[in-house]
Homo-oligomer: A and B are copies of this chain.
Amino acid sequence: MTMKKLKWGMIGGGEGSQIGPAHRLGAGLDGVFEFSAGALDHRPDYGIDYGQRLGLGDRAYGGWEEMLEAEKKRDDRVDLVTVATPNATHFEITKAFLENGFHVLCEKPMTMTIEEGEDIVEIAKKTGNICAVNYGYTGYSLVRHMRAMIARGDIGKVRLVNAEFAHGHHADATDADNPRVRWRYDPAQAGVSAQFADCGIHALHMASFVTGQEVEKLSADTVSCIDVRTLEDDAMVNFRMDGGAVGRLWTSSIAIGRQHGLGIQVFGETGGLRWSQEHPNQLYYMPLGERLQVIERGEANLSPEADRTSRVTIGHAEGMPLAFANIYADLAEAISARKESRIMDSAANLYPRAEDGLRSMAAVFAVAQSGKEDGKWMDARPPMFR
């Protein structure tokens, strides 16, 4: 299958940024997106200079407004804009690009408030433009396969999901005042939640992604293990989903000895599944009453969703850049299908959307509020979806 090259632009992700390189790897991997424009840094001159070094030429802009103005006038305007700036700027930038006819992939968390989230959902709906949210871990081939297995009934009705995203990278009290760490636990900069909003929502979204169920209500126990922190560095969240599943989610940034710590276990009436981001090429499956089996990425006869997202032969590790690339591949297919006025490949129709970003926001506020109220159960749905 041929695919016409698409043009891609980026806001944020400047030199030295954490997530910028992963986006460039992911978007570039298949050679479908051409990196064509960007406003990469909050310092205009740095952004332009870096953009030029990355080959953007005069489409290396000093700021996102400038980029928006310039790009919307071009015939060869970018087909997709990734927003990888700090959280507080996502809403404004995403909104502006959507309203001006661009498809957007926004980093998580999509917005800072539920209201902003609802706005984005409505703008996306109204304009018809794609607004995807980068829950990039859902791009892993075996996460896709997990979803497909559950959807086709391999483990029966889902009873319980147990998700984790617990690492130890903010465990050093002597480093807690380091500005690169401190802002995350400061409500003035980070909003109502730290660790849950940063990592927990990945795990919560994954719970929805693989089960095909949405979170309805939740109860949270949030704590700050390091004194100087206002926001939580550890949280346990219990939740209930609209298909009847019970949920449990642990997230932490003080779990010394754990490097990343994203993982998920799903238990249904007739089987159980287990997957972990640090070893993403194996999926553990036990059909009720049988033995634990190891499903390998790339093995024969998996689901179309798994096949589409598997790029090298079995036994060879695939990693996180390929998971990101799969999100971009979904978007390339979605955008191309629109351009070509055809129905998109349903196995690609799995990129997380504005609705998911909004739901995460609602969950963040519910967690923060429940945490303050001794674990009171809260409606976790955005008002819009109640």
| Chain A residues in the interface with B (C-beta under 8 A) | 1-2, 5, 18, 21-22, 24-25, 28-31, 35, 53-55, 155, 159-160, 162, 166-168, 171-173, 219, 221, 223, 225, 234, 236, 238, 246, 248, 250, 252, 254-261, 265, 267-269, 271-274, 277-281, 284-286, 288-289, 291-296, 299, 311-322, 374-377
Contacts and interface: CB of A to CB of B under 8 A. Distances in A.
Nearest to A140: B317
Nearest to A261: B315
Nearest to A27: B31
Given A269-B173, A292-B293, A293-B292, A250 B248 contact: yes
Contacts of A260: 314-316
B255 A267 contact: yes
Contacts of A160: 223, 225, 234, 252, 254-255
B277 A279 contact: no
A171 B313 contact: no
A208 B246 CA distance: 28
A155 B285 CA distance: 22
9 contacts: A168-B272, A219-B374, A219-B375, A234-B246, A236-B238, A255-B267, A257-B272, A292-B296, A374-B377
Contacts of A322: 319, 321
Contacts of A286: 168, 256-257
Contacts of A30: 25, 28
A272 B280 CA distance: 24
Nearest to A137: B316
Contact of A267 (B2, B155, B168, B292): B168
Nearest to A245: B225
Contact of A259 (B25, B225, B296): B296
Contact of A25 (B29, B221, B274): B29
Contacts of A314: 259-260
A257 B273 contact: yes
Given A28-B28, A54-B31, A257-B285, A167 B315 contact: yes
Nearest to A248: B236
Nearest to A268: B256
A155 to B, nearest CB: 8
Contacts of A254: 159-160, 267
A251 to B, nearest CB: 11
A246 B261 contact: no
A50 B234 CA distance: 52
Q: Closest 10 A-B residue pairs measured CB to CB?
A: A260-B315, A256-B272, A257-B272, A257-B286, A259-B315, A317-B319, A2-B53, A319-B319, A316-B320, A159-B225
